[in-house]
Amino acid sequence: MFSGIVEALGTVVELRDEPPGCWLIVREPKIAATTRVADSISVNGCCLTVVDRQGDTFAFQAGPETLQRTNLGDLKPGSPVNLERALAIGDRLGGHFVSGHIDGVGTLLQRDDSGEWSTFWFSVSRELAVHMVPKGSITVDGVSLTVVASEQERFSIALIPYTLEVTTLGPLQVGGRVNLETDLLAKYVQRLVESKEWDGGKELEMKA
Protein backbone atom coordinates (compact mmCIF):
# COMPACT_ATOMS: atom_id res chain seq x y z
CA MET A 1 0.00 0.00 0.00
CA PHE A 2 1.23 3.49 -0.90
CA SER A 3 0.16 7.10 -0.35
CA GLY A 4 0.86 8.66 -3.76
CA ILE A 5 3.52 10.98 -2.31
CA VAL A 6 6.54 10.56 -4.58
CA GLU A 7 9.77 10.18 -2.61
CA ALA A 8 12.29 10.47 -5.40
CA LEU A 9 12.86 10.53 -9.14
CA GLY A 10 14.79 7.50 -10.32
CA THR A 11 16.47 6.91 -13.66
CA VAL A 12 16.06 3.83 -15.81
CA VAL A 13 19.49 2.29 -16.28
CA GLU A 14 18.59 -0.74 -18.36
CA LEU A 15 15.69 -2.70 -19.81
CA ARG A 16 16.93 -6.26 -20.13
CA ASP A 17 14.84 -8.66 -22.21
CA GLU A 18 13.59 -11.73 -20.38
CA PRO A 19 10.86 -13.11 -22.68
CA PRO A 20 7.97 -12.78 -22.36
CA GLY A 21 8.82 -9.93 -19.97
CA CYS A 22 11.88 -7.92 -19.02
CA TRP A 23 14.08 -6.74 -16.18
CA LEU A 24 13.72 -3.07 -15.30
CA ILE A 25 16.82 -1.66 -13.59
CA VAL A 26 16.54 1.72 -11.88
CA ARG A 27 19.12 3.97 -10.21
CA GLU A 28 18.28 6.12 -7.18
CA PRO A 29 20.82 6.20 -4.30
CA LYS A 30 18.45 7.26 -1.47
CA ILE A 31 15.88 4.55 -2.22
CA ALA A 32 18.54 1.91 -2.89
CA ALA A 33 20.21 2.51 0.49
CA THR A 34 17.15 1.23 2.38
CA THR A 35 15.86 -1.31 -0.13
CA ARG A 36 16.06 -5.08 0.16
CA VAL A 37 15.12 -7.89 -2.19
CA ALA A 38 11.34 -8.63 -1.97
CA ASP A 39 10.48 -5.03 -1.01
CA SER A 40 7.57 -3.39 -2.84
CA ILE A 41 8.20 -0.10 -4.62
CA SER A 42 5.79 2.01 -6.65
CA VAL A 43 7.32 2.80 -10.06
CA ASN A 44 5.19 5.37 -11.89
CA GLY A 45 2.35 4.18 -9.67
CA CYS A 46 2.83 0.49 -10.46
CA CYS A 47 3.62 -1.77 -7.49
CA LEU A 48 6.67 -3.87 -8.34
CA THR A 49 8.79 -6.29 -6.30
CA VAL A 50 12.54 -5.74 -5.97
CA VAL A 51 14.36 -8.84 -7.25
CA ASP A 52 17.95 -7.56 -7.03
CA ARG A 53 19.92 -4.66 -5.57
CA GLN A 54 23.44 -3.67 -6.51
CA GLY A 55 24.97 -0.46 -5.14
CA ASP A 56 22.68 2.44 -6.00
CA THR A 57 20.52 0.40 -8.40
CA PHE A 58 17.66 -2.03 -7.89
CA ALA A 59 15.85 -4.27 -10.34
CA PHE A 60 12.32 -5.50 -11.01
CA GLN A 61 10.82 -8.13 -13.29
CA ALA A 62 7.91 -6.86 -15.37
CA GLY A 63 5.69 -9.38 -17.13
CA PRO A 64 3.79 -8.94 -20.40
CA GLU A 65 0.56 -7.99 -18.60
CA THR A 66 2.32 -5.16 -16.74
CA LEU A 67 4.09 -3.93 -19.87
CA GLN A 68 0.84 -3.97 -21.87
CA ARG A 69 -1.43 -2.31 -19.31
CA THR A 70 0.92 0.42 -18.03
CA ASN A 71 3.34 2.95 -19.48
CA LEU A 72 6.33 0.93 -18.22
CA GLY A 73 6.62 -0.57 -21.69
CA ASP A 74 7.33 2.95 -23.01
CA LEU A 75 10.40 3.39 -20.82
CA LYS A 76 13.96 3.39 -22.14
CA PRO A 77 17.41 3.94 -20.61
CA GLY A 78 17.54 7.47 -19.21
CA SER A 79 13.77 7.76 -18.62
CA PRO A 80 12.82 9.29 -15.25
CA VAL A 81 10.40 7.37 -13.03
CA ASN A 82 8.45 8.33 -9.91
CA LEU A 83 9.40 6.18 -6.91
CA GLU A 84 7.69 5.54 -3.58
CA ARG A 85 8.46 2.86 -1.02
CA ALA A 86 5.57 0.98 0.57
CA LEU A 87 3.97 2.59 3.62
CA ALA A 88 5.13 1.52 7.07
CA ILE A 89 2.77 1.27 10.03
CA GLY A 90 2.71 4.65 11.73
CA ASP A 91 3.67 6.66 8.62
CA ARG A 92 1.82 9.89 7.93
CA LEU A 93 -0.68 9.51 5.10
CA GLY A 94 -0.15 12.67 3.11
CA GLY A 95 -2.01 11.60 -0.03
CA HIS A 96 -4.62 8.82 -0.13
CA PHE A 97 -4.60 5.03 -0.07
CA VAL A 98 -2.99 3.79 -3.30
CA SER A 99 -2.72 0.07 -4.08
CA GLY A 100 -0.21 0.28 -6.91
CA HIS A 101 -2.54 -1.72 -9.18
CA ILE A 102 -2.93 0.30 -12.38
CA ASP A 103 -6.47 0.55 -13.75
CA GLY A 104 -5.60 2.01 -17.13
CA VAL A 105 -3.47 4.41 -19.14
CA GLY A 106 -4.45 7.98 -19.96
CA THR A 107 -3.00 10.43 -22.49
CA LEU A 108 -2.27 14.10 -21.91
CA LEU A 109 -4.72 15.95 -24.16
CA GLN A 110 -4.06 19.55 -23.13
CA ARG A 111 -1.58 21.42 -20.95
CA ASP A 112 -2.37 24.95 -19.80
CA ASP A 113 0.63 26.62 -18.14
CA SER A 114 0.15 29.80 -16.12
CA GLY A 115 3.49 30.94 -14.80
CA GLU A 116 4.85 28.08 -12.69
CA TRP A 117 1.40 26.49 -12.29
CA SER A 118 -0.30 24.12 -14.73
CA THR A 119 -3.64 22.50 -15.49
CA PHE A 120 -3.56 19.17 -17.32
CA TRP A 121 -6.41 17.45 -19.15
CA PHE A 122 -6.11 13.67 -19.59
CA SER A 123 -8.15 11.20 -21.59
CA VAL A 124 -9.84 8.45 -19.61
CA SER A 125 -12.08 5.53 -20.51
CA ARG A 126 -15.74 5.75 -19.49
CA GLU A 127 -15.17 2.59 -17.44
CA LEU A 128 -12.77 4.53 -15.21
CA ALA A 129 -14.57 7.87 -15.44
CA VAL A 130 -17.40 6.49 -13.28
CA HIS A 131 -14.91 6.33 -10.38
CA MET A 132 -14.08 10.03 -10.60
CA VAL A 133 -15.75 13.07 -9.11
CA PRO A 134 -14.61 16.69 -8.77
CA LYS A 135 -12.53 17.05 -5.58
CA GLY A 136 -12.02 13.29 -5.51
CA SER A 137 -8.65 11.52 -5.52
CA ILE A 138 -6.78 10.16 -8.56
CA THR A 139 -3.30 8.71 -8.89
CA VAL A 140 -1.41 9.79 -12.02
CA ASP A 141 1.93 8.04 -12.56
CA GLY A 142 2.00 7.31 -8.85
CA VAL A 143 1.23 10.91 -7.80
CA SER A 144 -1.76 11.48 -5.51
CA LEU A 145 -3.78 14.34 -7.01
CA THR A 146 -7.20 15.95 -6.74
CA VAL A 147 -9.63 15.85 -9.67
CA VAL A 148 -10.67 19.35 -10.72
CA ALA A 149 -13.17 18.54 -13.47
CA SER A 150 -14.52 15.12 -14.43
CA GLU A 151 -16.22 14.36 -17.73
CA GLN A 152 -17.21 11.18 -19.54
CA GLU A 153 -13.93 10.73 -21.38
CA ARG A 154 -11.52 13.20 -19.81
CA PHE A 155 -10.58 14.83 -16.51
CA SER A 156 -8.38 17.67 -15.31
CA ILE A 157 -5.92 18.20 -12.49
CA ALA A 158 -4.17 21.33 -11.21
CA LEU A 159 -0.46 21.03 -10.49
CA ILE A 160 1.53 23.21 -8.12
CA PRO A 161 5.13 24.20 -8.95
CA TYR A 162 6.57 21.71 -6.42
CA THR A 163 4.82 18.73 -8.02
CA LEU A 164 5.92 19.83 -11.48
CA GLU A 165 9.50 20.08 -10.25
CA VAL A 166 9.90 16.80 -8.35
CA THR A 167 7.87 14.34 -10.47
CA THR A 168 7.75 13.13 -14.06
CA LEU A 169 4.67 15.30 -14.68
CA GLY A 170 6.72 18.48 -15.04
CA PRO A 171 8.24 17.66 -18.44
CA LEU A 172 5.18 15.74 -19.69
CA GLN A 173 3.94 16.97 -23.07
CA VAL A 174 0.71 16.49 -25.01
CA GLY A 175 0.54 12.89 -26.21
CA GLY A 176 2.44 11.56 -23.20
CA ARG A 177 0.95 8.46 -21.56
CA VAL A 178 0.42 8.11 -17.81
CA ASN A 179 -0.65 5.32 -15.48
CA LEU A 180 -3.99 5.85 -13.75
CA GLU A 181 -5.32 4.35 -10.54
CA THR A 182 -8.77 5.50 -9.48
CA ASP A 183 -9.96 5.80 -5.89
CA LEU A 184 -10.18 2.46 -4.10
CA LEU A 185 -13.42 3.27 -2.30
CA ALA A 186 -15.14 4.24 -5.57
CA LYS A 187 -14.43 0.76 -6.95
CA TYR A 188 -16.08 -0.94 -4.00
CA VAL A 189 -19.11 1.32 -4.21
CA GLN A 190 -19.48 0.53 -7.92
CA ARG A 191 -19.19 -3.20 -7.22
CA LEU A 192 -21.81 -3.00 -4.50
CA VAL A 193 -24.23 -1.23 -6.82
CA GLU A 194 -23.58 -3.75 -9.62
CA SER A 195 -24.06 -6.72 -7.31
CA LYS A 196 -27.62 -5.66 -6.57
CA GLU A 197 -28.47 -6.59 -10.16
CA TRP A 198 -26.97 -10.10 -9.97
CA ASP A 199 -29.69 -12.70 -10.53
CA GLY A 200 -32.21 -9.91 -10.43
CA GLY A 201 -31.17 -9.08 -6.87
CA LYS A 202 -32.85 -12.25 -5.56
CA GLU A 203 -29.79 -13.63 -3.79
CA LEU A 204 -29.18 -10.43 -1.90
CA GLU A 205 -32.84 -10.16 -0.98
CA MET A 206 -32.78 -13.70 0.44
CA LYS A 207 -29.71 -12.93 2.56
CA ALA A 208 -31.31 -9.74 3.81
- 119-176 pLDDT per residue, tens: 999 999 999 999 999 999 999 999 999 999 999 999 999 999 999 999 999 999 999 9
Model pTM score: 0.92
Contacts of 21 (CB under 8 A, 6+ apart): 61, 62, 63, 64, 66, 67
d(CA 54, CA 155): 40
Chain-centre distance for alpha carbon 150: 18
With beta carbons less than 8 A apart as the criterion, state whether 17 and 67 touch: no
Domains and CATH numbers, the chain: 8-85 (2.40.30.20), 104-193 (2.40.30.20)
With beta carbons less than 8 A apart as the criterion, state whether 23 and 59 touch: yes
d(CA 82, CA 9): 5
